[in-house]
Amino acid sequence: MAHVQVHAEAIDLDSPVLVEGLPGAGLVGKIAADHLVEEFDMDYYGAVRCEGLPEVAIYEGEQSDIRPPVRLYADGDNDLLVLQSDVPVSPTQASGFATCITDWLDENDVLPLYLSGLPEEKKDIPDMYGVATGDGHEYIEDQGIVPPRQGGIVTGPTGALLYHAGQTGLDSVGLIVQTEAQFPDPEAARVLLEHGIGPIADIDVETDALLERADEIQEAREELAQRLHEAGEESTQAQSIRGFQ
Residues near a copy of itself (CB under 8 A): 5, 34, 37-38, 47, 49, 54-69, 86-87, 94-95, 98, 130-133, 137, 140, 147-155, 158-160, 162-167, 174, 216-217, 219-221, 241-245
CB of 50 to a copy of itself, least distance (A): 12
Show the CA angle centred on residue 244, arms to residues 240 and 245, nearest 5°.
145
Nearer to a copy of itself, 65 or 124 (CB): 65
* Rounded CA separation 234/211 (Å): 29
* Rounded CA separation 9/100 (Å): 20
Nearer to a copy of itself, 11 or 175 (CB): 175
- Dihedral of CA atoms 126, 26, 118, 129 in degrees, nearest 10, equals -50
Taking a C-beta distance cutoff of 8 angstroms, is the pair 184, 217 a contact? yes
CB of 216 to a copy of itself, least distance (A): 6
**Residue 235: which region, alpha, beta or left (left: phi > 0; alpha: psi -120 to 50)?**
beta
DSSP state of 108: T
Nearer to a copy of itself, 31 or 201 (CB): 31
Nearer to a copy of itself, 44 or 122 (CB): 44
CB of 144 to a copy of itself, least distance (A): 12
Nearer to a copy of itself, 163 or 229 (CB): 163
Nearer to a copy of itself, 34 or 79 (CB): 34
CB of 226 to a copy of itself, least distance (A): 14
CB of 96 to a copy of itself, least distance (A): 10
**Residue 224: which region, alpha, beta or left (left: phi > 0; alpha: psi -120 to 50)?**
alpha
**Radius of gyration from C-alpha coordinates of the chain:** 16
* Rounded CA separation 203/39 (Å): 11
* Rounded CA separation 26/51 (Å): 26
Nearer to a copy of itself, 14 or 179 (CB): 179
Amino acid in position 108: N
CB of 79 to a copy of itself, least distance (A): 22
* Rounded CA separation 67/1 (Å): 18
- Dihedral of CA atoms 92, 94, 97, 103 in degrees, nearest 10, equals -130
CB of 125 to a copy of itself, least distance (A): 21
